[in-house]
Structure 1
């Protein structure tokens, strides 16, 4: 992907729209939409790294009610020609075609490598991007849960629940279960105990990446892994309102508003 002069690549994650209630999340949703409006003039691409919603599931004929402002703005930006890439998180594992069909937004269920080139300077940067859930040596409780959540038979059983019941049940569990929400460890544990840091270091043993960019931890982090590689966590849009911006040479974390 090429980055023309004066253009930038933007990253955000962990909005958890709808939590803890529709009324409580509405101001955060409006702020996120304002951010999308703010960056649309110079965005060459936007990466959303999961948990945009506190719960999302694509039924065959139904999607969860609400989030009209966010979905409408994403449709507007996509229609204007700005590519948007979505990585599912642990709260929206069940995306299955709606974003691709309605918004023209590709959805990734695993981390991906991207290469960004700054045309004017002739620079080349490699990124490894994902939500971050279930990676590294820890997070074992969630890893067990994820196997259940992504099991095709379990998803088939869940779809037999009426959406009114299924969505209400999922929203209740999503808000109440801190292990699922990722809020159980929402404090910096030190580099030696941060499992995503350990995961990045292990990946570097096999292949170099200039930047590892993840969400999920709800903490804005910018950690140097070695002299040529960094790990950044995007924080969230609940407490920090942080986002990443890459100008072709340097990746930074910034705060909106």
Structure 2
């Protein structure tokens, strides 16, 4: 990392939900945050569900999000690395970000090391015990045949249908997402502890949960869930030594 720089993490913006008009103020706030952190950002990690729905046809992408995409392009052009992790709402992300914005896209957890600190980073969906129904559903949606079938829907039909179903998803407004289950019952905590049995990580950073969490797993390892940009507007900051959550209040 460059001296006096920081690495920033954010997740679960769900732009487009519940409507484009209702989402727009949140998009403006997020763009303002990106503009503010560019002064000292060594890298920016976006951990999925940036959009409430995203599907890339061969020559078509969903309408909207121009300010967000433009700001990400500006940051990349300025030499700031940006990394994108696919979430469960934008799991049909293709190569648009890579070709148009030069932003690498990851579909699975990735390991990074910064200033000698090890990170395991991902969106967080489908990890840990339980939630077998969702895991089965994800296998169906990520199957190439399912994607091929959806591709045959006209974009005006396919995108509208998917947006309707996505907004109905419990992850947007479900009461379960704002209730802390207890350290022993949080499934991502259980997943992290299982990983620690075979590998040492200083920090686990995930999204998906929609609840800001900082949990010490042991004396040298910490789990951070980034919350969301729907009600919390929280994000993670690594200053080279410590990792913590902050809230954007502008």
Q: Shared fold by TM > 0.5?
A: yes
Structure 2 partner of 1:10: 8
Structure 2 partner of 1:232: 224
Retained in 2: the 8 A contact 1:243–1:253?
yes
Q: 2:75 aligns with which of 68, 74, 77?
A: 77
CA distance in 1 between partners of 2:175 and 2:137 (Å): 15
CA distance in 1 between partners of 2:137 and 2:69 (Å): 28
Deviations 1:211-250 (CA, angstroms, capped at 9, x unpaired) = 0000000000000000000000000000000000001100
CA distance in 2 between partners of 1:49 and 1:183 (Å): 20
What is the SS of the residue equivalent to 1:198?
Answer: helix
Structure 2 partner of 1:247: 239
Q: 1:204 aligns with which of 173, 196, 205?
A: 196
Regions of 4+ moved over 4 Å? none
Residue 215 of structure 2 is aligned to residue 223 of structure 1: yes
Structure 1 partner of 2:59: 61
Deviations 1:79-125 (CA, angstroms, capped at 9, x unpaired) = 110000000000000011000000000000000000001xxxxxx10
Q: List runs of 5+ in structure 1 lacking aligned partners.
A: 118-123
Deviations 1:124-158 (CA, angstroms, capped at 9, x unpaired) = 10000000000000222211110111000010000
Aligned pairs, number: 248
Aligned pair in 2 of structure 1 residues 182, 224: CA closer, same or farther (>3 Å)?
Answer: farther
CA distance in 2 between partners of 1:131 and 1:223 (Å): 17
CA distance in 2 between partners of 1:177 and 1:49 (Å): 18
RMSD of aligned residue pairs (Cα, Å) = 1.0
Deviations 1:149-191 (CA, angstroms, capped at 9, x unpaired) = 100001000000001100000000001131x658362121111
